[in-house]
A and B are shown apart, each in its own frame.
Chain A
Amino acid sequence: MMTDQGSRKRGRRGSGRQESFWGQLTTWLDDWIEINPDGTVTAFSGKVELGTGVRTALAQIVAEELDVPFDRVHMVMGDTQRTPDEGYTAGSMTISSSGTALRNAAAQARLILLELASRKLAVHLDELNVQAGVISANRQPQRKVTYAELMGGKHFNIDVPANVTVKDSQTYTVVGKSTPREDIPRKVAGESVFIQDLRIPGMLHARLVRPPSVGAELISMNEGSLAGVPGVVKVVRRNNFIGIVTEREEQAILAAQSLKVEWRESAALPPMQDLYTTLRSRPTEDNLLIDQGDFDSAWKNAHRQLHATYYQPYHAHASIGPSCAVADVREDQITVWASTPGPYPLSGTLAKLLDVPPEKVHLIHVEGAGSYGQNGSDDAAADAVILSQAVGRPVRLQWSRQDEFVWEPKAPAMVMEVRGGLDSHGNVVAWDYQVWSPSHVARAHSPEQLVAGQLLSGQPSAQFGFSFGAERNAPTNYSFETQRVTVHYIADSPLRASSFRSLGGAENTFANESFMDELAAAAGVDALEFRLRYLPDERARQVLKSAASKAGWESRPSPQKTSGNLAQGRGIAFAWYENDQALVASVAHVQVDTSTGAVHVNRMVVAHDCGLIINPDGLRNQIEGNTIQSLSRALKEEVMFDEWRIKSVDWESYPILTFSEVPDVGIVLINRPDLPAVGAGEPSTTTTAAAVANAIFDATGARLRQIPFTPARVKAALS
């Protein structure tokens, strides 16, 4: 059964550059788990750590199922020569996909080890137990053998069957416990953790000289302007791509600032005030997701008709650390270190960019600053590859803050239009939801989808992959008898756009849950009670009630319209992520200064049900983070542009929430040990904006339908 080291690579590891979004799943046990001679366990995942703690959660799963101590499990993640191809780390899928694969692999490994021990110790399987990687006989504890002794450095050489028996979750001792994240001690001590910290012998430094606007063309470049700049190794110019490689980092910064370049720009963007009419007027691909009952006649016969349109601007991922990558392009082997969410897909795309066979590109993921979707990391990897190829040495490319703000793909701008009909008793008799959106997924499967590819080819127009993401949470989970839900995909986004946490889930929930509030107010019914009327599901009801209870929700219709300059209010919002994943309800308590329009959120309460909880404290961390980040987006964030350029280029032109503005966040975790664990990376980012908008309405009677809820917009809504 077991084989020596050399013959183990029958599986997918390092074998292919799969184009599929979720990669190529392998059932080969050795692709997932290795028992090392020193008693440690190496577990391999094709997913990557994006700063959310999945490395710890996956190690917990392996430790649990294999019965080894947590600190003996070492995770190797996102390396095209070492780990399985699991495509992109996205969609809160890491626990359910990689976690499930690792759980099954660990269970199979444990079973094989027990069978080996049974033979070796001459004790029946049922008479054996495992503790901390040691198998011993129940009645004769001195008869024992370790995992490491049984394996002897060899491999399992077997598949994981689909029907492998895993542990009953009721017996868990590691999964479900708050396990401190293994990365935090290294991060607070200043160890080398991030891609920005990586240093390769002989490495040069580089900065880019990007065009001032997307689509600008290079007219002239005066290399003589760098005469006084020391350390310049090469100015790499290919069509509209310019990068400068230097001996030292500060030289690259100085050179990039000093290089005299002339660009021809064009007014290619719509005026910002016309953004939403532009989105509505572009050609669309229309998908009717739900068409239940006869909406048109129900709408016509409704006692009251409500109609509202909601607006979501472009948002920046705005990672705190601008993207960085290191590339070493040699004749025989190309090695790229990058904080990409998709090591395998990116390695294939970079191979196409360089026109080399895919197996020549070894892509190694190294953690970057939190990315929350697709930031500039893949683009930076391509830039680094081009620069290393040009100088024949390893190059570390660091994007500037402005590079990141201007050139990262943005979360798409969207328009959501909702119509709802009430009967004379205040029941919802008709619901029509339409959303206009660019695709939320534009992952780089071809070089033209990377900024460098566009600059090289001189083809600035963003090309999109398949249309995806705007349907997420476009349908609600409310039991409306007559409803229609339509997604209109815009083929051509004014700004380059790609995935940001929850894709369209947050924006659709903002619209759906704001409109539910508008209907509840029109019906004169408490917002919580109104929602519960259309939610027969017990889990959904419990999430909403738990949030309301912790928030001290008092039942009454909105608005309450407090008197005085400082109006107080509370709002609630609910989402069932992707309609069948995690459930979330948020309550916001706000204070609105009606003289200035300033909104201060005093407290958020979030109730969360994601099935079985793997790491309660890690989950709380994620929920707090999602809540604060989505509050920042709702209150402050909007990518500004004019017809020529993106104007949000730094933290002053794209401010985010600061410590003085952050509210308290109360959390209720609902654990469901009997149900599968589903992702928690994104769901709690969806409900914040609507909860806050609904609270502003409760406080003032003013309805905010456009994100962000700036003081100017609040004042306009008040008058």
Chain B
Amino acid sequence: MSGDIVITVNGKLHTVQSTPDTPLLYVLRNEIGLNGPHFGCGGEKCGACMVLVGAEPRLSCHLPVSEIGRARITTLEGLIEEGELHPVQRAFIEEQATQCGYCVNGMIITTAALLWKNPHPTDEQVRTALDGNLCRCGSHLRILRAVRRAELLMSGKGSE
């Protein structure tokens, strides 16, 4: 049973050690040693565990690892290319868009997916996209500003 499933995470193949019904989150954190996706609720309600499956933001706390198939998984760490932070990550630093930062993984994953699909979303589209991501510290306004800054950076009009 174990060893049959191979998944692609951040461009690398990984042979899954745990049972097929294990939620992807625990494979990513405990087998691969990633820290980006966090356990928040275990009930797909807060967004802390988000990863990209292909270009889609997905909650990983319930998603059985056996359902991933050949889809490429990208985590917060995987957004970094050759040591360069992704524009969305840079935007979050430039806007100082966290307090405790526990939820920031899901915020960045959602934003990256949104801006790929829709490079210039309306304010309502941004808020709607982020409504499934909970933040308890109240960093929402900074996160919204970071989305706007990321939009500029990704369209080549940013500060760098």
Contact = CB atoms under 8 A, between A and B. Distances in A.
A246 to B, nearest CB: 11
Interface stretch (A62-70, A103-111, A176-184, A578-586): A176-184
A190 B77 CA distance: 6
A632 B102 CA distance: 18
Interface in A146-200: 180-181, 183-185, 187-194, 196-197, 199
Interface in A347-378: 367-370, 372
B100 A320 contact: yes
A318 B136 contact: yes
Interface string A665-699: 10000000000000000000000000000000000
Interface in A455-484: none
Given A250-B23, A318-B136, A628-B140, A188 B96 contact: no
Nearest to A650: B43
Contacts of B85: 185, 188-189
A400 B48 CA distance: 14
Interface string B77-118: 100100001000100110011111111110010000000000
Contacts of A230: 19
Contacts of A656: 134, 136
B128 A184 contact: no
Contact of B40 (A183, A248, A321, A665): A321
Nearest to B100: A51
Given A190-B75, A624-B138, A248 B18 contact: yes
Given A184-B98, A621-B99, A190 B35 contact: yes
B39 A196 contact: yes
B134 A651 contact: yes
A658 interface: yes
B10 to A, nearest CB: 10
B4 interface: no
Interface string A611-646: 000000110011011111100100000000000000
B38 interface: yes
Secondary structure class of chain B's binding surface, majority of residues:
loop
Interface in B51-79: 75-77
Nearest to A190: B36
A227 to B, nearest CB: 16
A658 B36 contact: no
Given A197-B35, A401-B43, A621-B96, A187 B101 contact: yes
Interface string A193-227: 11011010000010000000000000000000000
A188 B35 contact: no
A185 B98 CA distance: 10
A501 to B, nearest CB: 11
Given A658-B134, A660-B128, A621 B89 contact: no
A398 interface: yes
B42 A400 contact: yes
Contacts of B120: none
B14 interface: no
Contact of B141 (A367, A401, A628): A628
Nearest to A324: B39
Given A624-B141, A651-B46, A187 B98 contact: yes
Contact of A188 (B29, B39, B43, B93): B93
Contact of B102 (A321, A398, A651): A321
B47 to A, nearest CB: 9
Given A321-B40, A660-B131, A194 B102 contact: yes
Interface residues of A, number: 61
A320 B33 CA distance: 21
Given A250-B26, A398-B39, A370 B99 contact: yes
Contact of A320 (B19, B92, B102, B124): B102
A271 to B, nearest CB: 28
A400 B23 CA distance: 15
Contacts of A664: 141
A610 B18 CA distance: 53
Contacts of A625: 99, 137-139
Given A320-B135, A664-B141, A401 B40 contact: yes
Nearest to B126: A659
A320 B127 contact: no
A627 B138 CA distance: 8
B34 interface: yes
A285 B27 CA distance: 53
B104 A621 contact: no
Given A321-B38, A370-B137, A398-B39, A188 B22 contact: no
Interface string B1-41: 00000000000000000110011001001100111101111
A36 interface: no
B136 A369 contact: yes
Most buried by B among A52, A190, A627: A190
Given A191-B35, A249-B26, A621-B96, A650 B89 contact: no
Nearest to B140: A662
Nearest to A321: B102
B80 A320 contact: no
A625 B22 CA distance: 35
B96 A181 contact: yes
A250 B102 contact: no
B96 to A, nearest CB: 6
B89 A629 contact: no
A53 B142 CA distance: 15
Contact of B77 (A189, A250, A322): A189
B137 A629 contact: yes
Interface in B114-160: 124, 126-128, 130-131, 133-144
A187 B104 contact: yes
Given A622-B99, A651-B45, A651-B46, 11 more contacts: A51-B101, A183-B101, A190-B36, A250-B26, A401-B40, A401-B43, A628-B138, A628-B140, A629-B137, A650-B45, A659-B126
13 contacts: A187-B104, A205-B30, A250-B26, A318-B136, A320-B135, A370-B99, A370-B136, A625-B139, A626-B138, A628-B140, A629-B138, A657-B138, A660-B131
The 8 closest A-B pairs by CB, nearest first: A51-B100, A628-B138, A190-B36, A370-B100, A187-B101, A625-B138, A369-B102, A190-B76
